[in-house]
Structure 1
């Protein structure tokens, strides 16, 4: 709600992007638990809905990239093509399965250059299971472990009668998460559903911002604004009317040239802070293919740069690296 903007934190928070996804298959309880053990402050479940309205953690509603569904003959006839956010996608979709069917599937590593040794070991978690894990680990570690759920494709899910917002808020509120200072951030790449959520809860909201394209809800509405438009000072002030922070692509803060080399930082952090918005950029990864050559294959150099620029937190696939750099910086005083 307007006026519920929270103060910047005393130190940047470390958000485990889809769990410890550099070390375990993404969106698994094992991955989330490892991230917590490595020092994460928040674990991030991306949420989609099953056919029977259960919120589960998958990065996309097309689930063949992250589960063994394509290898399961009993589900071969579920393969189909759908238009998701204006793009044709072919595969198997969470909304075509009941939760009992989803629970028979096993997670697999999505990226071929990461370890495949954990494929087939872990099930697909529900949001309540993730909350239970965060609460249990908070008790075990003596640290408050937050959750940072993202609503995926909310306009699409609304269109098929499986709205994400109401069940999300019901689950969070029933678990005692209902105040502006509770350890929860709700995020979305769309704008309309965040404005709806702003009317449903006092929990902090984060407007995600891609470096390309536009929010799908704006495209549907014929609104010409793009994500690039939304990072202007005037648009950031509008975002601050319903959200508490932004989650920009890190290249909106430190751009690169056509050769991938770093350019001077933009004013985005300063502009966002000027209207009371937190800044949590994404996504920090250790592999050389994700690093600008200026970092000389040293991912710690990238973290250092962004921490010194004043981010309020960041999304990382490698919690241990982020924590190590932050501890070193804070050790300097």
Structure 2
């Protein structure tokens, strides 16, 4: 791409963003949508994807076949899963190696002796760990909700699936519905698993090869927080779209600045190598240029795009505005958006921020308790997809936003 072409593309994107803002203002004033559709500010000009984060995790225990099926029924474009390895080397879909977080393992006396304390990516944890269980043993456990505010009546009813079973489900549902259901697997804790003698990458590639899904046009997005895992898979022949995830620990309510703490301060491979940089180096122009050498997109925590700031009291501490005894997003307001989406697009990278949720404690005050308002704010900024726990809310917001653009 020439410099003049790049400038022209940048100008068109900026114009599209301005027009979107103008359209939104007109819509807010009760005016009709434009008679002609206006250009969308996404990298490819298409509507943003709705990625069902761990399935329909807002409604059912996450990363189960039932949660993925429900997300597809709700209309998800993509289903997302984290990959871990069992003791016998089978890839399964769980977010945390510590099974105490998302299964009823604590209720199984036959496994009581396996409870232990160990470090996962530098964080000390106590519980039962997936690498100590064969697939057959894991099948005896039931998945549970990881959020107390979400439905609990399904706890223990659904099992932990293998990655192969989720691939098979996506293919079957694609045939059944007549629409392509993409998958979005993550190599979770890849360095940690490699150190245990249970590497994830080769098994992931083998399953995608067998599925006929090892190509750039396949309905597959492979993600990781560790650049080395993505580079390893690319070197070993993985040809799918690759996404660099970018994390952070929290937000300083006084300033809106990102905070960092183990294990989400930096890729664990950097920690092992003595590299003291944090994830924030990835969102600089130089960091994005580096990512573009091995990946197709980024998956940043949404606070890299729109942060939040709280009200600070006379004592210098954030104010608990809603008086619920906790300081969280509900006590904060959205900050001015950063240029990350535009910067990533200039580097040729698509942007899929995570994670959008419906609970009021997770919504800044300016969204007025309605998660659709947060989605629309990000859609207007040009994100290419969103990781959503509530697929239906993300889709409803997308439909409303597309209507703003004349679609």
Runs of 4+ aligned residues of structure 1 deviating over 4 Å after TM superposition are none
| Structure 2 residue 99 is the aligned partner of structure 1 residue 99 | no
Q: How does 1:223-262 map to 2 (within 5 A)?
A: 223-259=275-311, 260-262=332-334
Q: Which runs of 5+ in 2 are unaligned?
A: 1-42, 249-259, 312-331
Matched residue SS, 1:328: helix
Q: Deviations over 1:293-325 (max 9, x none)?
A: 111101110010000100000100000001111
| Structure 2 residue 216 is the aligned partner of structure 1 residue 216 | no
Q: Deviations over 1:91-148 (max 9, x none)?
A: 0011000000011111111111111011121000000100111011101111100000
Q: How does 1:99-118 map to 2 (within 5 A)?
A: 99-118=135-154
Matches of 2:275 and 2:234, distance apart in 1: 21
Q: Which runs of 5+ in 1 are unaligned?
A: 1-6
| Structure 2 residue 276 is the aligned partner of structure 1 residue 276 | no
**Alignment RMSD (CA, Å):** 1.0
Q: 251-260 or 65-74: which moved more?
A: 251-260
Q: Normalization by structure 2: what TM-score?
A: 0.79
* Equivalent residues of 1:135, 1:145 under 8 A apart: yes
Q: How does 1:155-304 map to 2 (within 5 A)?
A: 155-200=191-236, 201-211=238-248, 212=260, 213-259=265-311, 260-304=332-376
Matches of 2:153 and 2:105, distance apart in 1: 18
Q: Which residue of 1 is the match for residue 391 of structure 2?
A: 319
Larger Rg: 2
> Following TM superposition, by how much is the alpha carbon of 1:330 offset from its aligned partner in structure 2, in angstroms?
1.8
Matches of 1:325 and 1:142, distance apart in 2: 23
> Following TM superposition, by how much is the alpha carbon of 1:258 offset from its aligned partner in structure 2, in angstroms?
3.7
| Structure 2 residue 101 is the aligned partner of structure 1 residue 65 | yes
> Following TM superposition, by how much is the alpha carbon of 1:9 offset from its aligned partner in structure 2, in angstroms?
5.9
Matches of 1:140 and 1:229, distance apart in 2: 43
Q: Normalization by structure 1: what TM-score?
A: 0.96
Matches of 2:269 and 2:242, distance apart in 1: 17
Paired residues, number? 327
* Equivalent residues of 1:198, 1:243 under 8 A apart: no
Q: How does 1:116-155 map to 2 (within 5 A)?
A: 116-155=152-191
